[in-house]
Amino acid sequence: MNAISPDLTFDLADTSLRELNAALHAATGESNARRWRVLNPNGRHAVAVGIAAPLTVEIEGHVGYYCAGMNAEASVIIHGNAGVGLAENMMSGFVHVRGDASQAAGATGHGGLLVIDGNASARCGISMKGIDIVVKGSVGHMSAFMGQSGSLIVLGDAGEALGDSLYEARLFVRGSVKSLGADCIEKEMRDEHKVLLAEKLKAAGLDGSVDVSAFKRYGSARQLYNFHVDNASAY
Amino acid sequence: MTAHSNVPRTPPRFSATFDPATLAEIRRAAATGIYDIRGGGTKRKVPHFDDLLFLGASMSRYPLEGYREKCGTEVVLGTRFAKKPITLKTPVTIAGMSFGALSAQAKEALGRGATTVGTSTTTGDGGMTPEERGQSQTLVYQYLPSRYGMNPVDLRKADAIEIVIGQGAKPGGGGMLLGQKISDRVAAMRNLPKGIDQRSACRHPDWTGPDDLEIKIEELREITDWEKPIYVKVGASRPYYDIALAVKAGADVVVLDGMQGGTAATQDVFIENVGLPILSAIRPAVQALQDLGMHRKVQLIVSGGIRSGADVAKALALGADAVAIGTAALVALGDNDPQFEDEYQALGTTAGAYDDWHEGLDPAGITTQDPVLAARLDPVKAGHRLANYLSVMTLEAQTIARACGKSHVHNLEPEDLVALTVEAAAMAGVPLAGTSWIPGRTGGY
């Protein structure tokens, strides 16, 4: 089943980032079946960005901004923390951070699954366009700002102004929400939403270990969808 | 008959402050409670290229023969870092305008016209359409705060990437595509439901400030294997510092858009009161490049009110490498054409003044998503008109350059120019005509 072997290792202590990303972009055929390992990322920005093939990349350490940016098809696992814009504009595939993520994790993501084992900072899922994001810890303020579609699932708490100016993204939070942003409201958690949430949690490897009934659902009140002067104070 | 009948009467006199347009706007605001939204750039009179003249050659300068001696117009953009710089045959490019704001036919026509004369066209907020990519030999892909339609596949198809920080019509402002222009196709490209207003954020979602921008540029270069020129576009507001910071962040090309540059839809108060006329912004931008030793290494594209080859030549003489046109290109396609006067009248306006582009009712079929209206624009014929217009602008710029003795339009220089007004002299940094006086030269920016 798992044909990922042997390792194909890039040590960023003695290999340039350019060589790594170029190799990832050129990977086809047999190289897809290998487990790509990246050593000593040391907070380097733009690690494993723009992959467009079903590779599995494991990064041993902390990464800087935009790790796995615009990812398509690949699985990128970060054994560390991630900086700003983790998996920004991801199209498909899977990105998993074992540690915490900084601001704007999953920003503008179109698809795929982003799992953050720790906490995510402000603006997690900002302007999300179809991505699913599961945060096992908490998220900071303005998360899912202008979220268009996809799901943001938070097992911990959410900061101020959750879902501000939300479009059609679905938000599920198990803990507390400090405040809701403009046009974001709590919505009834019906059975179909529990089924949906269970599916997403299962995909994130949390099958059966989390009670979906403990979550509250938030979404757009859709009152700001068309500009009207009576709503001016809400903008 | 009264005793006063022969006394001359004071004729009705409008206030310069409370002129008829101002009075009408007060009444409109009082009736509706909402600001006015429109398309286009500033309509107020501002110092512009019309306030500059070329001196031409005479005793002390040697002109080139108009129909015999070569005057180059080629421009190479993106020579700083990109593996694949862009080469254009003319310094006149097409500015970013979105599919959504414009019909697919209009976008196709822009691509056709630009390609015919060997220049580039630019996507806009909303992504890249197959029609546009297919008909555009050189296509610049805009990277905007909304990231509507942004995806790595199209990014790799692009010939250059333009990171949009702002635009001249509304520096510091985001955008809004009103629901009436959101067709099924536009909605699908932007991942949003049909018929709702689509807001375009004023800030990028995943970076803030020039230090972050440097990292963002590195990411885009890594994703595209350092092949594509990366432009940074700013609205003219603090051009010296903005251009310096864009260069510091790693831009290959900087695009500077003045307040005459158009928008698809913004508040009139914003368009008319925020930002700088392009005339006042070019010299500080060029100074920033020169101070960094990057003039001609990081190319400068200017836009906002470029209408003719004379404007092109003046912009280049002030130090730009190329220009971009938006409003003028739409007019060449057929926007505001008097042939639709009856329909403009029915919309409460007249040909030449129509600016409610956000409403999607454009009789010319350009700023609309209505399939019936959009079908009025033949992309082939409209593209041909645009190509003609671009050719004329190029020929005009060459004519002026030759008259100034230049074998390439890039050899035009501020020394070739004088200003007709004190204001233009100060802004453009050239002498007032008939004098050696350049106002403001003793001060900094």
Tell me the pLDDT tens digit for each residue of B272-304. Answer: 999 999 999 999 999 999 999 999 999 999 999
pLDDT score at A93: 97
Residues in B touching A126 (Cβ below 8 Å): 205-206
pLDDT of residue A233: 59
For A158, list phi and psi in degrees, rounded to 5: -120, 145
Q: Which of residues 214-233 of B touch A (CB under 8 A)?
A: 215-216, 218-219, 222-226
Nearest to A88 among B192, B206, B224 (CB): B206
Per-residue model confidence (pLDDT) at position A3:
54
Q: DSSP assignment, residue B127? A: B
- Token pair belonging to B257: 């858009």
Strands (E), A136-215: 149-154, 170-173, 184-187
pLDDT at A5: 63
Q: Is B184 in the A-facing interface, judged by CB distances under 8 Å?
A: no
Question: Residues of chain A whose pLDDT is less than 70?
Answer: 1-6, 228-235
For residue range B215-234, list pLDDT tens digits in order: 999 999 999 999 999 999 99
* Among the partner residues A21, A69, A129, nearest to B191 by beta-carbon distance: A129
DSSP code of residue B91: S
In chain B, whose CA is at the least distance from the CA of A23?
B225
Chain B residues near residue A18 by CB distance under 8 angstroms: 222, 226
A66, A146, A226 member nearest B201 (Cβ): A146
Question: Does A24 contact chain B (CB < 8 Å)?
Answer: no
pTM: predicted TM-score of the whole model, two decimal places: 0.95
Q: How many CB pairs under 8 A join A and B?
A: 110
Is the CB of residue A227 less than 8 Å away from at least one CB of chain B?
Answer: yes
Nearest-Cα residue of chain B relative to residue A85: B206
Q: Which contiguous run of DSSP H or E holds residue B75? A: strand B75-77
Q: What pLDDT, on the 0 to 100 scale, is given for residue A30?
A: 73
Does residue A109 belong to the interface with chain B, where contact is any CB pair within 8 Å?
no
Alpha-carbon gap, residue B277 to B259, rounded angstroms: 5
d(CA B155, CA B39): 28
Burial of A19 (0-12, 13-18, 19+ CB in 10 A): exposed
pLDDT at A1: 41
The ipTM assigned to this model is: 0.94
Among partner residues B147, B155, B197, which is closest to A226 by beta-carbon distance? B197
| B209-223 vs A17-26: helix crossing angle, rounded to 10 | 40
Low-confidence ranges of chain B (pLDDT < 50): 444-445
Q: What is the CA radius of gyration of chain A?
A: 18
Question: Minimal CA–CA distance to A111: which of A125, A93, A95, A124?
Answer: A93
A92 interface with B at CB cutoff 8 Å: no
